[in-house]
Amino acid sequence: MTEDGALLVARVVSKRFGGLVAVDKVDFEIPRGSITSLIGPNGAGKTTLFNVIAGLYRPTGGEVTFEGRTISNLSPHQITHLGIARTFQNIRLFQAMTALENVMVGRHTRMRANPFEAILGTPRERREEREVRAKARELLAYVGLEGREDEFARNLPYGDQRRLEIARALATGPTLLLLDEPTAGMNPAETSALTRFIRRLRDELSLTILLIEHDMSVVMGISERVTVLNHGAKLAEGPPGAIQRDPQVIEAYLGRGAADLAKRGETN
Amino acid sequence: MSTGRPTAGWWQTTTGARRRRNAALTAAALLLVLFFPQINDALNLGLAGKAIPIAIFITLALGLNVVVGFAGLLDLGYAAFFAIGAYTAAFLTSTVSPIGYVHDHPVNFFLTMLASAAVAALFGVLLGAPTLRLRGDYLAIVTLGFGEIVPLVVRNVPEYTKGTQGMNPIGVPELPFVTFGLATEPWYYLCVAVVLLSVVVTSRLRTSRICRALVAIREDEVAAASVGINPVSTKLFAFSLGASFSGFAGSIWASYLQVIAPEQFDFSVSIFVLSMIILGGMGNVYGVIVGGLLLGGFDRVLAERTSDLLHGIGAALDLGLLREADLTKARTLIFGLALVVMMLVRPEGLIPSARRRLELHLAEERGGDAAERRANVEPD
């Protein structure tokens, strides 16, 4: 356990691509059980920081610890095994698999049958397959995809694909869920439904959630803590109300004329 | 059957008439295979000796299908593992083996088969471990090189391998009441048993979580890793499992032929096996068998018979061209043509795997940006 209940801590994390500094010495914490949002204008380094946490990128400086353990030197699959799951900005489902198979694949890291047991079809392996199948159905029902188990992922409507990706991430048995722009491309009704769903995830499954989001009504509505990145560096951090009033943030992120818009988001 | 496997074979996913038809078809095929030597004798087909190499090549195709069909890894040097298996068998059982002890105490052949498979798998790991980390088609190039190197090494170390002269004799299987010698029947049944075993192993693998992970990696390696699949070790497993099939088949090949030499394992063998898979239907165990039967049948039987027929016609009509025609010399040309036609008409193969066909269509829809999408982890 780490100090003051932080589940994940990033210390002076930097990521450079050649001459480009995408993430610049960012200190960042995700309190256990919180919904934390990462916001910032396009190109601010949000997804890069995300990819550093998920192990897709190795930071060029600093380190990331998860439950007190350094994870910035681990591979993505190892980090997933430790309990960090993610979705992608531009949905990356396995298109040629059914919805059920997508979720079952997500369970891979929690399965124990080795390849030889699989070939021999031992009772243990068969039982495990049955259990995983049942679990996958349960998760699909939980995200609201009951009855669509056998549809190919590619044939699902956009919103359902987002939900399926979340179900797949949940199947890995995470304690921390990283959602990269989960409401991108959704209409207001879908967005508010998903926002409620994210809160439900945290409350019912006692997850900690890190969100990258552009939709301010979502960010201000559900997050307890907001971190603002700009040009790769941390600009501000705090509860949504304070962030909304922070003149620097309004200047850099929302633009001067958008202060009114932010006010309207607050009253929603 | 309610084992509840999602990517199950036809006997679990289809129902009713189709299922009965498939079961009947399988039963008929099994009967035909089991009584083939008797049928062959009764009809005087003269195919008994041809069936054995065809069966060995089908085993090779089933193994390569794990690598190419399931894992989507292009292995162009599969014959190298075949050679490694064959030479392992020779080293362990031949009187000309470089291991002196073996001259008087040849290793039991069934143990040798396992050893050949294990040694081939080990070489698969050695070759795959550094290369499978790379993306793209590096593996194809590396395996191509490996396929060239192995026969060259064999040729250039005659003090161990007898070089181009070849190693002979090689140990044969020993079973009570059965002699593995010149009679083809014991060999035939041994090969059929090996093919059936390969079918069972690869079918089971196909419905397991390992294959599910392989399909995921094949489609999107980044997403697969992010759901907790270790892409390198999973691919390495598939690659070396495929290699072990090749090694296994190599030991039987060596024992059946009684002499092995480097030129039996050149590049064209790898391509021949690959063609079987592509023709039959990548990823589909039954498709691969059909592909193997067709190409193997053409290679071993039809090319010869057709040439004889052409010679006959040529002689009757007094056409010099037909009288001289020899299709066996044009076999690579004919395989090449078959593949080109196949790619144009039915790129998924004769009996395709449903998933492979879907993936092909997806790739078409996405066009060129699929590779790009894979290469880039979406930047901010």
pLDDT in tens, A67-101: 999 999 999 999 999 999 999 999 999 998 999 99
Residue among A51, A97, A110 whose CB faces B377 most closely: A51
Contacts of the segment B151-157: beta carbons below 8 A, 24+ positions apart:
B151/B79, B151/B80, B151/B83, B151/B262, B151/B263, B151/B265, B151/B266, B152/B262, B154/B83, B154/B87, B154/B262, B154/B265, B155/B262
Q: How far is B75 from B271, CA to CA, in rounded Å?
A: 10
- Longest Cα pair distance anywhere in chain A, in angstroms? 67
A225 by DSSP, 3-state: which?
strand
Strand partners, A159: none
B353 by DSSP, 3-state: which?
coil
Q: What is the mean pLDDT of residues A16-26?
A: 91
Q: Among residues B28, B23, B27, which one has the least CA distance to residue B12? A: B23
Q: Among residues A169, A177, A113, A99, which one has the least CA distance to residue A141? A: A99
Spatial contact of A97 and A168, defined as CB atoms under 8 Å apart = no
Q: How confident is the model at residue A263 (pLDDT cuts 50, 70, 90)?
A: low
Q: How far is B12 from B4, CA to CA, in rounded Å?
A: 8
Q: Among residues B297, B285, B283, which one has the least CA distance to residue B338? A: B297
Structure-derived torsion over alpha carbons of residues A254, A255, A259, A264, reported in degrees to the nearest 10: -40
* Structure confidence at residue A267 (pLDDT): 52
Structure-derived torsion over alpha carbons of residues A178, A181, A183, A185, reported in degrees to the nearest 10: -150
Chain A CB within 8 Å of residue B213 CB = yes
What is the share, in percent, of chain A residues with pLDDT greater than 70? 93
pLDDT, averaged across chain A: 89
**Which residues of chain B have a pLDDT value below 70?**
1-16, 135-136, 366-380
- A26 contacts: CB under 8 Å, gap ≥ 6: A10, A12, A13, A14, A45, A49, A62, A229, A232, A233, A234
Task: Return the DSSP state at A31.
Answer: E
* Structure confidence at residue A261 (pLDDT): 58
- The dihedral region occupied by A18, where left means phi > 0, alpha psi between -120 and 50, and beta the remainder, is left
Please write the tens of the pLDDT for every residue from A160-176.
Answer: 999 999 999 999 999 99
Residue among B210, B224, B380 whose CB faces A47 most closely: B380
Structure tokens at A189: 């009704």
Mutation for testing the B interface, residue in A78, A79, A108 having most B CBs under 10 Å? A108
Helix axes B231-257, B48-65, angle to 10 degrees: 170
- Longest Cα pair distance anywhere in chain B, in angstroms? 76
Task: Return the DSSP state at B19.
Answer: H
Neighbouring C-alpha atoms within 13 Å toward the C-beta of A38: 32
Strand partners, A208: A176
Structure tokens at B229: 């699949």
Chain A CB within 8 Å of residue B204 CB = yes
**ipTM over cut 0.85:** yes
Give me the count of residues in chain A.
268
* Structure confidence at residue B368 (pLDDT): 46
Mutation for testing the B interface, residue in A98, A107, A129 having most B CBs under 10 Å? A129
* C-alpha distance from B379 to closest chain A C-alpha (Å): 7
Q: How confident is the model at residue A258 (pLDDT cuts 50, 70, 90)?
A: low
* Structure confidence at residue B15 (pLDDT): 55
Does the structure show a pLDDT above 60 at A1? Answer: no
Amino acid letter at B344? L
Spatial contact of B274 and B64, defined as CB atoms under 8 Å apart = yes
* Structure confidence at residue B380 (pLDDT): 40
pLDDT, averaged across chain B: 85
- B29 contacts: CB under 8 Å, gap ≥ 6: none
State how beta strands A176-180 and A208-212 pair. parallel
Say yes or no for a CB contact (<8 Å) between B228 and A119: no
* Structure confidence at residue A86 (pLDDT): 95
